[in-house]
Amino acid sequence: MLCLLRTKADFNMSKRNKYYSFTAMANSVKKHNQNIQIDNSYNSGITPEWGPNKDITILRSVVGTDYYADNLKDYKNVIYTLYGPIGDQYEHEKRYNKKLLDKNISKHIYLYEVEQINSSKKQYKWFGKYELLPDTKQILDHPGLDGKMRKIINYTLKYISRY
């Protein structure tokens, strides 16, 4: 994987508008918080039950994913779409959504973004730690992966800190 960093001993995560290689992002995050381990092998944008106490959830948003309606323009108040690319989304979907919405499982929520540059190159941006605001639930009509209209569920995530 191509590293987009100029060789720096300590890489600066404070530049929110910059993208980095996955390895550089993951290493910097781990340097600041040993409990966060980001694994790039998951297909879902929601990775629950991480960390020593299984209470960390890592969220991924992919730029240009038309079947979700994530909005990360205002990093302090992010709109995040629940899991489910085809058909109506359900909060009680067991593998991801139910765990994300359970405060006992998702005590610590972290978010990063991926942008596919070309067929072999991706860039990553770390956003930080968030709190899911349960009273911000929105149900919207939105096309799915198959192009058919469906109901999706969005929540606002409130920014807490960088790590």
- Segment 60-68 shows an average pLDDT of 92
Q: Which carries the bigger pLDDT value, residue 37 or residue 141?
A: 141
For 103-150, the pLDDT digits (tens) are 988 998 999 998 888 888 888 888 999 999 999 999 999 999 999 999
Q: Could you list the residue range(s) of the whole structural domain that residue 46 is in?
A: 22-161
The pLDDT value given to residue 35:
66
* Number of domains, the chain: 1
Residue range 13-29, pLDDT digits in tens: 445 556 777 777 777 77
pLDDT tens sequence across 42-63: 555 777 777 777 888 889 999 9
Q: Give the Å distances, CA to CA, from 29 to 10, 51, 64, 65, 163.
A: 12, 13, 24, 25, 7
d(Cα 76, Cα 156) in Å, to the nearest integer?
A: 10
Confidence at residue 71, expressed as pLDDT on a 0 to 100 scale:
96
Amino acid 160 reads I
Query: What is the DSSP code string of 33-75?
Result: -TT----TT-SSSEEEEETTTT-EEEEEEETT-TTS--B-SST
Q: How far is CA 58 from CA 9, 41, 44, 87, in A?
A: 26, 13, 10, 24
In a domain, 9, yes or no: no
Asked whether the predicted pLDDT for residue 95 surpasses 80, the reply is yes
- In a domain, residue 4? The reply is no
Rounded CA gap, 57 and 100, in Å? 7
Residue-level pLDDT at 23: 77
The CATH number assigned to the domain holding 141 equals 2.30.280.20
Residue 81 is assigned to a structural domain of this protein: yes
pLDDT at 30 (0 to 100): 75
Distance CA 63, CA 77 (A): 17
In this structure, is residue 13 part of a structural domain?
no
Give the pLDDT mean for 64-72: 94
Output the pLDDT for position 162. 86
Interatomic CA distance for residues 127 and 112, integer angstroms = 5
Q: Is residue 4 over pLDDT 50?
A: no
